[in-house]
Amino acid sequence: MAKKLLLAGGGHAHMMVLASLRKFRDLGHLVTVIQPSPHHYYSGMGPGMLGQTYQPEEIRFATRQVVEKQGCAFILDKVARVEPAANRVILESGAAVAYDVVSFNIGSNVSGHIPVEKSETIFPVKPIERLQEAQQLILRLGAGKPLNVGIVGGGPSAVEIAGNIWGLAQKNGLQPVTITIFARTSIMKGFPDGVRSLAINSLNRRKIQIIEHCSVSKIEKDRIEIDSRQIYGLDVIFVAVGVRPSHVFRKSGMAIGPEGGLVVNRYLQSIDYPNVFGGGDCIYFQDSPLDKVGVYAVRENPVLLHNLMAALEGKEMREFDPGGEYLLIFNLGDGTGIFRKKRLLFNGRLAFFLKDSIDRRFMKKFQALER
């Protein structure tokens, strides 16, 4: 019997499902995809887009086009909340969309306790698409005057953003651009010393300033306030203070993990609603909580594809195995990177070459569906 499959968000964990929509349709199922943008941006290449290594069209997937081409429905909107007992979601526009089976891949948002003014000069690192606007602003302002750019946060995103702003300034011969990272703890806290010192040396060599152990208490359009007293004037500000899952599940009264992610079992299935699934940053994997990295979202693809089909067709489901330690490569914005897997650690052009090849291959594979 025809059933309604709803995909909320076309993120990294839904790519294989999106590639296989025709199979669902051929079995008679009605598929609807909801996303606030016609495109999904690949976050791993976002800092590179900021630094002009990539054009926006190289790092995005034409979700709407791919969905409609396969005869399925696309709704340009955002899921605001779920009414799981009634099997429907409510969108920000107020519309209700019913489902028999739903899968969430709605990602995470930059979140912290710092009050951030809404401004055209302040850029949370997500959604990735806004990094295009940031790039244009830096190019416009930096053509005419020296610039002060601040990055609040001290993790890999902050390091990649800082490095790529440096790259952008170099490529475009901008007026001097002073780049400062404001980190609440040590920079790249939680990473091994080797990774940290490679990152710090790279930033130091390029005179990117690092202020560690400073507590930013307010972010306004042209300044940040530290420890509620010291003011730094800035022209452009990035907020990279870490991410938390979408608020949708908390607002819907569903079982959530400590940060608000949808609690899922080994089948990537909600623990209290068996027709609700999820993947990527928006879930809390009950067995062993996962880092918020795209790697896991990508690994979840085949399991979500299999289990959504199984849920619709009444077949057996497969378990998700998060796998072993994952590869991390950071893009430092000067054509070099830092490569780390298990005990193997190195930096330089080869590291970035590998990241670039892996990322481009991923994009090419899924962008091929657009044609």
Ligand X SMILES: Cc1cc2nc3c(=O)[nH]c(=O)nc-3n(C[C@H](O)[C@H](O)[C@H](O)COP(=O)(O)OP(=O)(O)OC[C@H]3O[C@@H](n4cnc5c(N)ncnc54)[C@H](O)[C@@H]3O)c2cc1C
CA quadruple 206, 211, 212, 215: dihedral positive or negative?
A: negative
Q: Which stretch binds ligand X (CB under 6 A): 100-108, 197-205, 227-235, 312-320?
A: 100-108
348 binds ligand X (CB under 6 A): no
Q: Which of 4, 24, 31, 44 binds ligand X (CB under 6 A)?
A: 44
* Site mask for ligand X (CB under 6 A), range 186-225, x = bound: ----------------------------------------
278 binds ligand X (CB under 6 A): no
Question: Based on CB atoms, which residue is closest to ligand X, 176 or 192?
Answer: 192
Question: Based on CB atoms, which residue is closest to ligand X, 9 or 150?
Answer: 9
13 binds ligand X (CB under 6 A): yes
* Site mask for ligand X (CB under 6 A), range 156-175, x = bound: -x--x---------------
Q: Which of 29, 126, 244, 306 binds ligand X (CB under 6 A)?
A: 126
Nearest to 152 by CA among 178, 119, 128, 125: 125
124 binds ligand X (CB under 6 A): no
Question: Based on CB atoms, which residue is closest to ligand X, 68 or 222?
Answer: 68
Q: Which of 9, 153, 167, 261 binds ligand X (CB under 6 A)?
A: 9
Alpha helices for the chain (secondary structure H): 15-19, 21-26, 46-50, 63-69, 130-142, 156-171, 193-205, 248-251, 294-313, 349-367
The DSSP code sequence of 252-292 is TT--B-TTSPEEE-TTSBBSS-TTEEE-GGGEEESSS---S
The C-alpha torsion from 186 through 135 and 137 to 216, rounded to 10°, is: -10
351 binds ligand X (CB under 6 A): no
Q: Six-digit token pair at 14?
A: 């839904």
Q: Is 113 exposed, middle or buried (0-12, 13-18, 19+ CB in 10 A)?
A: exposed
Cβ count near 193 (within 10 Å)? 8
Reduced to 3 DSSP states, what percent helix, strand and coil does the chain have, rounded to the nearest 5?
35, 30, 40
User: What number of chain residues touch ligand X (CB under 6 A)?
Assistant: 35
Question: Based on CB atoms, which residue is closest to ligand X, 223 or 326?
Answer: 326
107 binds ligand X (CB under 6 A): yes
Q: Which stretch binds ligand X (CB under 6 A): 23-31, 103-111, 163-171, 316-324?
A: 103-111
252 binds ligand X (CB under 6 A): no
Helix (DSSP H) and strand (DSSP E) numbers for the chain = 10, 25
Question: Based on CB atoms, which residue is closest to ligand X, 157 or 307?
Answer: 157
Question: Based on CB atoms, which residue is closest to ligand X, 141 or 151?
Answer: 151
Q: Are 37 and 129 in contact (CB under 8 A)?
A: yes
Distance separating alpha carbons of residues 51 and 362, to the nearest angstrom: 20
Taking the complex as a whole, the smallest distance from the CB of residue 61 to ligand X amounts, in Å, to 9
Q: Are 137 and 169 in contact (CB under 8 A)?
A: no
Give the H/E segment covering residue 76.
strand 73-76
Q: Which of 29, 64, 78, 81 binds ligand X (CB under 6 A)?
A: 78
Angle between helices 193-205 and 156-171 (to 10 degrees): 20
Q: What type of residue sits at position 83? A: E
281 binds ligand X (CB under 6 A): yes
255-274: contacts with ligand X (CB under 6 A): none
Binding site for ligand X (CB under 6 A): 8-13, 34-37, 40, 43-44, 46-47, 78-79, 105-108, 125-126, 157, 160, 246, 248, 280-282, 292-295, 297
